[in-house]
Amino acid sequence: MLDFVIMDIYTIGFEEQLKILRRVASPIQNINDETVRLAEDMVDAMVKGNGIGLAGPQVGRLERLFTVKIGEDDPLVFINPEIISTSPELSSYEEGCLSIPGQYADVDRPALIQVQAWSTRGRPFTIEASGLLSTVIQHELDHLNGVLFIDHVSERKRKKILGKFEVDPEAYPEVE
């Protein structure tokens, strides 16, 4: 019997989903088979959605993990990630988000970062990231803190994007 899960990706156009996307996710206490399974399902959903990153809250799981896959590289899984250093130099990328489909905006972020996280095997690792990988990791880590890329753009641009999803800017929830 085929055993697979198609995870729904939460988008800002649904009030209840937007509320989840604006919440701070909790650390994962035990990295176990369930965590591995969740990460695998997230990788599948990310690839299916043509995304290069996906964070727990985007599939309704308020847990601190995200997945990344850039081009033909193997997917990466970051559990309980923390940025331990950032460069003063910034780089700018036009960002999009599976939770804000069809909308893009330039965002400046530190060009180089060092990140510490745990793997699905429960082992800690540290990586240095630059370029697109650095941006994706920062974008996904933001999701774990209830922050979306539209929080990094001008108010005017944010209102315009919220409008596309019929979200009243006055009703755009605070991070909880």
Nearer to Ni ion, 123 or 164 (CB): 164
Which 3 state secondary structure label does DSSP give 52?
A: coil
Distances, alpha carbon 127 to alpha carbons 30, 62, 75, 140, 173, in Å: 22, 24, 14, 15, 33
Binding mask 93-122 for Ni ion (x = CB under 5 A): ----x-------------------------
- List the catalytic residue out of 63, 95, 128, 140: 140
Tokens matching residue 149: 């890329």
Give the CB-nearest residue to Ni ion: 97
Nearer to Ni ion, 43 or 97 (CB): 97
Helices of type H across the chain: 15-21, 33-48, 131-144, 155-164
User: Residue 10 Cβ, how far from Ni ion at the closest point, in Å?
Assistant: 10
Is residue 140 among the annotated active site residues? yes
Catalytic residue ranges? 140
Which residues sit at the interface with Ni ion, rule CB under 5 A?
97
